[in-house]
Amino acid sequence: MASSFQPQTFFDRLAAHPGEDVALSDGRHCLNYAQLRTLFYEFALTLLVPGQKSLGGERIALILPAGFNYTVALLGIWRAGGVAVPLNVNTPPNEIMYALSTAGVTRAFTDKEHQQVSDSLCAELGIPLELCDTHNTSETISERDIPLPGPDARALLLFTSGTTNKPKGVVTTHGNLTAQVNTLLEAWYWHATDVIPLFLPMHHVHGIINVLCCALAAGARIEIFESFDMPRLFEGVANKTYTLFMAVPTIYVKMIKALDDLQENQQAIAICQGFGNMRLMISGSAACPVSVHTAWKKHTGQVLLERYGMTEIGMALSNPYHGPRKPGTVGQPLPGVELMLVNEQNQAVTGDNNPGEIWVKGPNVFLEYWENPQATQDTFSEDGWFKTGDIAILETGYYRIMGRSSVDIIKTGGEKVSALEIESVLLEHKDIVECAVIGVPDETWGEAVLAVIVLEESAGVLSVDALKVWCKSCMSGYKVPKRFEMMRALPRNAMGKITKPALAKLFTR
């Protein structure tokens, strides 16, 4: 059957929704699409000096949590032809400083809560900081007309998560943004009747593109949380408020623990039914262990849809909406995304179980690393493929991510092993709640497989020998970790991703 999907730009879509439909709600107030359009257009005008038609790619930072202000400011910056630089409000000052100066930010917006910290940082860099209060704008849209930014205009500058090295500024254009949104609207059947909670950090594609922009492009309703608030979320779920849900694996882990701890009462049943009632629940941004897929299905009946993407490309692979979803895999390329696996000789690999680096091409692929032409050049092949740095295999039509080539592919005794594969097996052990597998230099093995594990609070004493025996029963001998280290919790970034270089530093001897 031919798809009826119409490609349209993000702003065209936004302009078309019925004004009275609710766009955003924060639990106390609502903003409908007519109000949102007025507010962000007004905000765009306030960014321009009289006579100015466009910000011409000026970088403007947002030091704001998810909320009305954040949304209005983001859309307003885009509408005025600026580049939005959303920063993590919970990040240490030195990292905010790094981002502000690297991106050449000229203005920044914050709120009262984050004003004090932002003030001193911006003052040090000579960047004017303004309080963002878009709630009370009651002026009508002025007659002044400003042009919409074209598809090649830069829109967004996001910093990579820096789990493997120093964060780089990833620049995406309005054309990229439209492509990244459209592919998800089509693949995941977004609709104006959808209602989605948004509790993800707002300096990352997951929250910005997959949730905020897709929902606004679809004319759907977003319930905004300033941060992850499980009681408020569960209340909304129990009331069957939401149709769609997107989270990182660590959020599912937290919710599984909470559901495990709940007594079998009416409230617990209503929460599980509320999750079961949604039309789609998605996991991504890090590998979702099979044990999490299984536990989630047991509690809610939902089969999670896992997808794969990154800051530079938005989303690239997704399990199907209609067909079977396979835990531990990330499905097939999304509409409009070209993808291949490439070996170390730069040749495309075909057939099942042959590992290769994921290379991606398409209108979703970013423009450049900000002011870093060398890094941009190094990351593209001569014929324009973006080299992701992730290794995958194909298994009966579904891609399986083996991990980042720089940290997750461990070369031990002449074999290459995937850290993600070993982690997924270790998490099947009843006493292990978290784990990270890394390679550490070793005289005998070149690299030795080391597993850092966090044990269940109620777990008794677990000897390394017993663990190794258990591992041998479920993985090939060369994959069994040579060393085990225990921690109370693993170091993670704001997206819940384990920062493996920190572990490697800690345990390399």
Question: Using CB under 6 A, which residues numbered 201 to 220 contact ligand AMP?
Answer: 205
Q: Which is nearer to ligand AMP, 260 or 338 (CB)?
A: 338
Q: Is 405 in the site for ligand AMP (CB under 6 A)?
A: no
Interacting residue with ligand AMP among 388, 412, 418, 424 (CB under 6 A): 388
Q: Which is nearer to ligand AMP, 205 or 449 (CB)?
A: 205
Q: Is 160 in the site for ligand AMP (CB under 6 A)?
A: yes
Q: Which two tokens stand for residue 227?
A: 């941060």
3-class DSSP state of 235: helix
**Neighbouring C-alpha atoms within 13 Å toward the C-beta of 492:** 17
Dist CA 358 CA 182 (whole Å): 22
Q: Which is nearer to ligand AMP, 388 or 412 (CB)?
A: 388
CB of 325 to ligand AMP, least distance (A): 12
CB of 344 to ligand AMP, least distance (A): 18
Dist CA 163 CA 411 (whole Å): 20
Q: Is 287 in the site for ligand AMP (CB under 6 A)?
A: yes
Q: How many residues bind ligand AMP (CB under 6 A)?
A: 18
Contacts of 130 (CB under 8 A, 6+ apart): 107, 108, 109, 110
CB of 477 to ligand AMP, least distance (A): 25
Dist CA 132 CA 128 (whole Å): 12
Q: Is 306 in the site for ligand AMP (CB under 6 A)?
A: yes
Q: Which residues partner with 307 through β-bridges?
A: 318
Q: Which two tokens stand for residue 243?
A: 């149709």
Residues listed for the chain: 509
**Neighbouring C-alpha atoms within 13 Å toward the C-beta of 67:** 16
Q: Which two tokens stand for residue 437?
A: 């597998």
Stretch that binds ligand AMP, among 87-95, 263-271, 279-287, 472-480 (CB under 6 A): 279-287
Dist CA 285 CA 160 (whole Å): 12
Give phi and psi for 380, each to the nearest 5: -110, 145
CB of 311 to ligand AMP, least distance (A): 4
Question: Using CB under 6 A, which residues numbered 310 to 369 contact ligand AMP?
Answer: 310-311, 330
The 3 state secondary structure assigned to 271-295 is HHHHHHHCCEEEECCCCCCHHHHHH
Q: Would you say 21 and 33 are in contact if contact means Cβ atoms under 8 Å apart?
A: yes
Q: Is 188 in the site for ligand AMP (CB under 6 A)?
A: no
Give phi and psi for 192, each to the nearest 5: -60, -20
Question: Using CB under 6 A, which residues numbered 432 to 461 contact ligand AMP?
Answer: none
Q: Is 286 in the site for ligand AMP (CB under 6 A)?
A: yes
Measured CA angle at 391 (ends 389, 397), to 5 deg: 130
CB of 399 to ligand AMP, least distance (A): 10
Secondary structure letter of residue 142 according to DSSP: P
CB of 330 to ligand AMP, least distance (A): 5
Measured CA angle at 10 (ends 7, 12), to 5 deg: 80
Stretch that binds ligand AMP, among 23-31, 94-102, 211-219, 302-310 (CB under 6 A): 302-310
CB of 420 to ligand AMP, least distance (A): 6
The distance from CA 195 to its chain's CA centroid, rounded to whole angstroms, is 19
Q: Which is nearer to ligand AMP, 176 or 241 (CB)?
A: 176
Q: Which is nearer to ligand AMP, 121 or 247 (CB)?
A: 247
Stretch that binds ligand AMP, among 40-48, 284-292, 376-384, 448-456 (CB under 6 A): 284-292
CB of 494 to ligand AMP, least distance (A): 10
Residue (of 338, 312, 314) closest to 169 by Cα position: 312
Q: Is 161 in the site for ligand AMP (CB under 6 A)?
A: yes
CB of 285 to ligand AMP, least distance (A): 5
CB of 214 to ligand AMP, least distance (A): 16
CB of 293 to ligand AMP, least distance (A): 11
**Neighbouring C-alpha atoms within 13 Å toward the C-beta of 131:** 9
Q: Would you say 133 and 331 are in contact if contact means Cβ atoms under 8 Å apart?
A: no
Q: Which is nearer to ligand AMP, 225 or 308 (CB)?
A: 308
Q: Which is nearer to ligand AMP, 118 or 172 (CB)?
A: 172
Q: Which residues partner with 455 through β-bridges?
A: 432
Q: Is 137 in the site for ligand AMP (CB under 6 A)?
A: no
Q: Which is nearer to ligand AMP, 47 or 286 (CB)?
A: 286
Q: Which is nearer to ligand AMP, 149 or 403 (CB)?
A: 403
The distance from CA 177 to its chain's CA centroid, rounded to whole angstroms, is 15
Q: Is 404 in the site for ligand AMP (CB under 6 A)?
A: yes
- Which residues would be at the binding site for ligand AMP (CB under 6 A)? 160-161, 205, 284-287, 306, 308-311, 330, 388, 390, 401, 404, 495
